[in-house]
Amino acid sequence: MTSFVAEKKVIRMRVSILLLILSVYSALAWGLPRQEATWAADSTSKQTIEAPDRFQPKHLILPASLITLGAVGTAVDGMQDFHLFSRRDSVTPIRIDNYLEWGMLGWVFLCDLMGKEKHRWTDQLFLVALAEGLNAGMVQGLKHTLHTTRPDGSPHSFPSGHTANAFLGAHIAYKEFRDTSPVLAYSGYAVALFVAGSRLHNNRHWVADVVAGAGFGILSVELSYLIYFPIRDALMRKADDRLVVAPLVNGRGAGVYLSLRF
262 vs 243: CA distance, rounded Å:
9
Single-letter residue type at 240? D
Q: Give the pLDDT score at 42.
A: 41
Q: Give the pLDDT score at 32.
A: 46
Phi, then psi, of 244 in degrees rounded to 5: -125, 125
**Residue 60 in contact with residue 29, Cβ under 8 Å?**
yes
Q: How many CB atoms lie within 10 A of CB 125?
A: 13
* pLDDT at position 41 over 50: no
Q: Give the pLDDT score at 3.
A: 56
Span 79-100, pLDDT tens digits:
999 988 888 888 898 999 999 9
Q: Give the pLDDT score at 224.
A: 94
167 vs 180: CA distance, rounded Å:
20
Q: Give the pLDDT score at 9.
A: 58
Q: Give the pLDDT score at 84.
A: 83
Instruction: Please list, in sequence order, all residues whose beta carbon lies within 8 angstroms of the beta carbon of residue 72, skipping any fewer than 6 positions away.
Output: 15, 19, 79, 208
**Residue 127 in contact with residue 192, Cβ under 8 Å?**
no
Single-letter residue type at 101? E
Average pLDDT over residues 208-237: 91
Q: Give the pLDDT score at 19.
A: 56
What is the value of pTM for the model shown? 0.76
**Residue 111 in contact with residue 187, Cβ under 8 Å?**
yes
97 vs 202: CA distance, rounded Å:
10
Q: What is the mean pLDDT of the chain?
A: 80
Q: Give the pLDDT score at 30.
A: 46
Q: How many CB atoms lie within 10 A of CB 157?
A: 22
Q: Give the pLDDT score at 36.
A: 43
* pLDDT at position 24 over 80: no
**Residue 185 in contact with residue 118, Cβ under 8 Å?**
no
